[in-house]
Amino acid sequence: MSKGTSMNIEAFSRSKYKNSTKPGDDVILIEPDQVLAVFDGATDPTGAFYNGESSGRIAARSAARCVADMLVRGTLDEAPAEMIFQEISTSVKTAAQERNVAHPASTTAALAVKCGDMYRILALGDTGVRLNGTKILQHHKIIDTVSTAARIQVHKTLNQRMDESDDVEFATRQTIFLGLEAAIETGKLTRQETELAIQAATQASGLPQSVVAEFLSGGIRTQFHYANADHLLGFASLNGGQVIANGLTDLTIPASELESIEIFSDGYISIPTSGIRCADWEAEFTRVETEDFHKTGAFPAVKGSTSSETCDDRTVISAGI
């Protein structure tokens, strides 16, 4: 077939649980020559599962089904991006209600839609798209910058008094999740040590210290309050609410100008500089794990890896056109 009319598609998805005993929160949708999509459900901070699925996976799967329905209806070609994402968000709310999900379910979405002799790229959240192996479209949340900087400082503090690296990582995760005030109350950190974390996050984000301190005091367990919120820490989310357009991508590009499309979740901390195949992404993942296992150095992240988990689920679709 002529260029721009057919795809050669590869896809890879791996749960963060190394023993694969639990499914991850990433979901793939592939309709060859029609739509490619990755949905990254938000990790449920309560750790709850509903008939074997987390709230994040429920959200991602309902979003994928919604996009498939819109594809059949022809909505994805010309409907406003805000309308498309709002319909996805509403589907997430419905799915969560049907499963009696206790914590607000949410997901990101990134899509490449074939529209005649054009491709439409739609994305909301931090799931990324790369075109022709060079042009990267990925929105990063400032609230993650805050959490990451604070986590690295807390990890540094706890590493000085704990022997096992897994223990340090899990204690750091718990501290950032439950909040710095809880860490002080339980004696895990001193007030001075929490101030160091707040200062690091303030410097990294450039936000007012009062805003940073308020969030970190309550921890990531309070992050859902900032989803689709008009706030310095606010971020767009497909969580059943009214979706804001913060970081929304809506790009149309001629198929004749495309040689490849890659869609990837943020479980890939670093993007391969050469090669677009799934094997190239996995090689880069391995390099990052070797160089910065704890994600406190060259590849900072909200979580580090342990002997039983990587820092996040990871998913990539690679299509040659």
User: What Rg, from alpha-carbon coordinates, does the chain have?
Assistant: 20
Which residues have CB under 8 Å from 196's CB, separation 6+?
A: 153, 157
Grade residue 5 by pLDDT with cuts at 50, 70 and 90: low
With a pLDDT cut of 70, the percent of the chain lying above it is: 98
Q: Give the pLDDT score at 308.
A: 96
DSSP, residue by residue, 122-142? EEESS-EEEETTTEEE----H
Distance CA(37)–CA(245), nearest Å, equals 19
Q: Give the pLDDT score at 4.
A: 44
Average the pLDDT over 28-52 and give the result: 92
Q: Give the pLDDT score at 168.
A: 98
pLDDT per residue as tens digits for the range 226-253 = 999 999 999 999 999 999 999 999 999 9
Tokens, residue 92: 């997430």
8 Å CB contact between 197 and 180: yes
Average the pLDDT over 36-51 and give the result: 90
For residue 55, the surrounding DSSP H or E stretch is helix 55-73
pLDDT per residue as tens digits for the range 139-194 = 999 999 999 999 999 999 999 999 999 999 999 999 999 999 999 999 999 999 99
Q: Is the pLDDT of residue 3 over 50?
A: no
At residue 297, what are phi and psi to the nearest 5 degrees?
-120, -110
Q: Give the pLDDT score at 158.
A: 98
Distance CA(12)–CA(156), nearest Å, equals 33
Q: Give the pLDDT score at 43.
A: 87
Whole-prediction pTM value? 0.95
Average the pLDDT over 309-316 and give the result: 97
Give the residue from 113, 108, 63 showing the smallest Cα distance to 88: 63
With a pLDDT cut of 90, the percent of the chain lying above it is: 92
Which residues have CB under 8 Å from 18's CB, separation 6+?
A: 307, 308, 309, 310
Average the pLDDT over 4-24 and give the result: 86
8 Å CB contact between 283 and 271: no
8 Å CB contact between 253 and 261: no
For β-strands 109-115 and 35-40, DSSP reports them as antiparallel
Average the pLDDT over 30-59 and give the result: 92
DSSP, residue by residue, 247-262? T-EEEEEEGGG-SEEE
Average the pLDDT over 37-59 and give the result: 91
Q: Is the pLDDT of residue 62 over 60?
A: yes
